[in-house]
A and B are shown apart, each in its own frame.
Chain A
């Protein structure tokens, strides 16, 4: 009832994505502590196992490290690692779909460049 989870992906993955989103947006930086499993469970009204699983995924991806007895911290280099993997994912998943749509709409490179603000000193 709290925070709009979707029904298509397991919640622990959605929670993981939220944390990743916060890392990409710079809300969570290297060395920052993650809130405790208990806090997150209470805040989002989730089973603690769900939260632990999301955290474990982040540990497995080496984005977060467990410091014994104190908690979870964002690793050094987490954002670089994320950027690299997000770029790779974009090129693999989103770009082909985008390209397909561009083709279907019959847009050419010239039109696209003209509509890109930062390219060639702004949009025409």
Chain B
């Protein structure tokens, strides 16, 4: 199967402002991709383009379809949860199930009900009586009961407490994800998804500045903690980032073999958050 999402020269301008600037990427099936970037970097715009919610320039194919012209067909295979998604306040759980059952050919009401049975949500409960966490549970129940090929999650756990957040990803991994499905997640809470991801994309100022599998990232990047005596030797290897902790220098290297760094000090895999900070340097200055 070809890429689930393929973009070439994808561009979106809002007036004079270029939100997404000629980006190219491909997402194969069966991946869990993290699209990570600062506020206003173009994450949500990219997702909106893929979902056919906005016009754009360049080429973009989602499950082999053009989101601009084949949105209806596409939506049978794509699901979406956004932090900003709003369910009408008067809607009852039962109405929500009726509605999705009515419009979506691949919705399994039994699945959604089985999932809801594990929550505190009752069939008669209205959205206005729900906490934020409960609304996300309802969303998740609806979405996980749809046998879609692509699931797009835009800040899905924003504002949720730690129990709801953990549960969210647990259900996703246990009851939903398999190798035939693809999940794209944007989030600021990188530490909470980093081990779930198979691929990582960093976006900055509307451009993709890093796109790689987590495996490659593990091999490419090394963090080295080096004492003052070997700082010179370490500097000569061209660290992409440096900071000092307790008189020791912590340096981040891209593409320097681990064995070469091991002799200079302590090495470890940088976290996604470390990489993010190094990649986005200067953004907030």
Within 8 A of B (CB), among A29-68: 38-39, 41-50
Within 8 A of A (CB), among B105-142: none
B191 at the interface (CB under 8 A from A): yes
A90 at the interface (CB under 8 A from B): no
B27 at the interface (CB under 8 A from A): no
A5 at the interface (CB under 8 A from B): yes
The contact of A5 among B192, B195, B218, B223, by CB within 8 Å, is B195
Closest to A2 in B: B166
B177 at the interface (CB under 8 A from A): yes
Tell me whether B218 and A47 are in contact (CB under 8 A): no
Tell me whether B195 and A46 are in contact (CB under 8 A): yes
Tell me whether B173 and A7 are in contact (CB under 8 A): no
A20 at the interface (CB under 8 A from B): no
Tell me whether B268 and A7 are in contact (CB under 8 A): yes
Q: Determine the chain A residues whose CB is within 8 A of the CB of B170 once the complex forms.
A: 42-43, 45
Within 8 A of A (CB), among B197-241: 197-198, 214, 218, 223
Q: Determine the chain A residues whose CB is within 8 A of the CB of B198 once the complex forms.
A: 47, 49
Tell me whether B173 and A38 are in contact (CB under 8 A): yes
B279 at the interface (CB under 8 A from A): no
Tell me whether A45 and B195 are in contact (CB under 8 A): yes
The contact of B269 among A7, A39, A46, A47, by CB within 8 Å, is A7
A69 at the interface (CB under 8 A from B): no
Q: Determine the chain B residues whose CB is within 8 A of the CB of A11 once the complex forms.
A: 195
Tell me whether B173 and A41 are in contact (CB under 8 A): yes
User: Which of A42, A44, A48 has the largest count of B CB atoms less than 10 A from its CB?
Assistant: A42
A1 with B191: in contact, given A7-B269, A45-B169, A47-B198 (CB under 8 Å)? yes
Closest to A46 in B: B195
Tell me whether B196 and A46 are in contact (CB under 8 A): yes
B267 at the interface (CB under 8 A from A): yes
Q: Determine the chain A residues whose CB is within 8 A of the CB of B218 once the complex forms.
A: 10
Q: In the complex, how many residues of chain B place their beta carbon closer than 8 angstroms to a beta carbon of chain A?
A: 23
A8 at the interface (CB under 8 A from B): yes
Tell me whether A38 and B174 are in contact (CB under 8 A): yes
Within 8 A of B (CB), among A1-27: 1-2, 5-8, 10-11
Closest to B162 in A: A1
Q: Determine the chain A residues whose CB is within 8 A of the CB of B166 once the complex forms.
A: 1-2, 45
Closest to B274 in A: A7
A12 to chain B, nearest CB (A): 10
A8 with B169: in contact, given A47-B198, A49-B198 (CB under 8 Å)? no
**In the docked arrangement, what's the CA distance between A59 and B19, Å?**
48
B110 to chain A, nearest CB (A): 19
Closest to B266 in A: A8
Tell me whether A47 and B174 are in contact (CB under 8 A): no
**In the docked arrangement, what's the CA distance between A11 and B195, Å?**
8
A1 with B32: in contact, given A8-B268, A48-B173 (CB under 8 Å)? no
User: Besides the contacts A7-B270, A45-B196, what 17 more A-B pairs have beta carbons closer than 8 Å?
Assistant: A1-B166, A1-B191, A2-B166, A5-B195, A7-B223, A7-B271, A8-B269, A39-B174, A41-B173, A42-B169, A42-B170, A42-B173, A45-B173, A45-B192, A47-B195, A47-B198, A48-B179
| Top 5 closest pairs, chain A to chain B, by CB | A42-B174, A7-B268, A42-B173, A42-B170, A41-B173
19 A-B residue pairs with CB within 8 Å: A1-B192, A2-B166, A6-B268, A7-B268, A7-B270, A7-B271, A8-B269, A10-B218, A38-B173, A38-B174, A39-B174, A42-B170, A42-B174, A43-B170, A44-B195, A45-B170, A46-B173, A46-B196, A47-B197
Q: Which B residues lie at the A interface, using CB under 8 A?
A: 32, 166, 169-171, 173-174, 177, 179, 191-192, 195-198, 214, 218, 223, 267-271
